[in-house]
Amino acid sequence: MRVAVIGAGLCGLAVSYFLDAEVTVFDRIGVGGGASGVAAGLLHPCPGKEGKRSLYADEAMEQARELLKVAEDAYGAPVADCSGIEGKEEGITVWMDRYLEGLFLASGAELSVELIDTIPEGFDAVVFTVGAGIASFCPWLKVDYLKGQLIECEGSFERSVIDEGYVAVHPEKVFVGSTYERRFESEEPDYERAMELLGPRVDRYGLKPLRALSGVRVCRQGHYLPMVFKLEENVWALTAMGSRGLLYHAMYGKKLANALMMSHHILS
């Protein structure tokens, strides 16, 4: 079975790992080149502004922890700080660059760095796991686009904390975030705008701002659960992770991979 996975972020790599198939991952930038790569990496059961425990949080956290171990083994070094997040139960700070690289290595997939603007041919199945890019393939999809910016800082901080925002502590990096911009002209980082919104928090924690990072999340309208659907025969999509990509990527990636393999087995 040959499968094309479009998008080398959290969902794409999770699907690729769980597929018992020959997988080619397509991404115009590379592993973690989109919103997944600039995520703060704060994994816990209660993301979102309301801070309530998410649906299926127990299963999602269990699956995410399993993938963290898989990625760590493949990477050959720790990919997360499991000592906790101040202000959240069950908190883990995932070091996204290491985790995504480790997950890609564990998947055994082939990477093709190119822009895909049509459904690729020559595969038994195709899975779209793109975020903002889903608009090119599903313009009818009812979703919202939310730009999130964070500030990479220099300074000493003991461990990650979540209050009205967050401070995420990575090896040799500290990130302060995040903005929630529903109206934006560009997906690119806007340092002045980011500092306007996040600067007081940077100052409060005594950190030195270095640069702004940004990513665009796709959010489902009316609910926060991701969207999984079939575009056409043997073509699937997994998108609209919103702020819960890190929480849900392993669980939904495994479910979609299993459904895809079962469908292929029945048809063959």
Q: Residue 73 sits in which domain range?
A: 2-142+222-267
pLDDT tens by residue, 131-165: 988 988 999 999 999 999 999 999 988 899 998 89
> Does residue 88 surpass a pLDDT of 90?
no
pLDDT tens by residue, 174-193: 999 999 999 999 999 999 99
29 & 118 share domain: yes
pLDDT tens by residue, 111-137: 999 999 899 999 999 999 999 889 889
> Does residue 72 surpass a pLDDT of 90?
yes
Instruction: Quote the number of domains for the chain.
Output: 2
Please compute, for residue 210, the number of CA atoms within 13 A of its CA located in the half-sphere on the CB side.
Answer: 10
8 & 125 share domain: yes
109 & 43 share domain: yes
234 & 129 share domain: yes
29 & 84 share domain: yes
Mean local confidence (pLDDT), 90-104: 97
| CATH number of the domain where residue 252 is located | 3.50.50.60
Please compute, for residue 103, the number of CA atoms within 13 A of its CA located in the half-sphere on the CB side.
Answer: 35
What is the structure's pLDDT at 253? 98
40 & 161 share domain: no
pLDDT tens by residue, 197-222: 999 999 999 999 999 999 999 999 99
What is the structure's pLDDT at 230? 93
What is the structure's pLDDT at 31? 97
> Distance between CA 142 and CA 260 in Å, rounded?
24
* Residue-wise burial string across 185-206, b where 16 or more C-beta atoms lie within 10 A, e elsewhere: eeeebbeebbbebbeebbeeee
132 & 40 share domain: yes
pTM, rounded to two decimals: 0.95
Nearest CA-CA partner of 4 in 125, 131, 100: 125
> Does residue 92 surpass a pLDDT of 60?
yes
Cβ within 8 Å of residue 257, ≥6 positions away: 14, 15, 17, 18, 19
| CATH number of the domain where residue 149 is located | 3.30.9.10
β-bridge partners, 42? 93
25 & 101 share domain: yes
82 & 162 share domain: no
131: tokens are 């975020």
Residue that terminates a domain, selected from 199, 220, 241: 220
31 & 122 share domain: yes
| Cα distances (Å, whole numbers) of residue 109 to 23, 132, 232 | 5, 23, 24
Burial of 121 (0-12, 13-18, 19+ CB in 10 A): exposed
Burial of 119 (0-12, 13-18, 19+ CB in 10 A): middle
Contact predicate 149/212, CB 8 Å: yes
> Distance between CA 123 and CA 153 in Å, rounded?
43
Residue that terminates a domain, selected from 220, 236, 254: 220
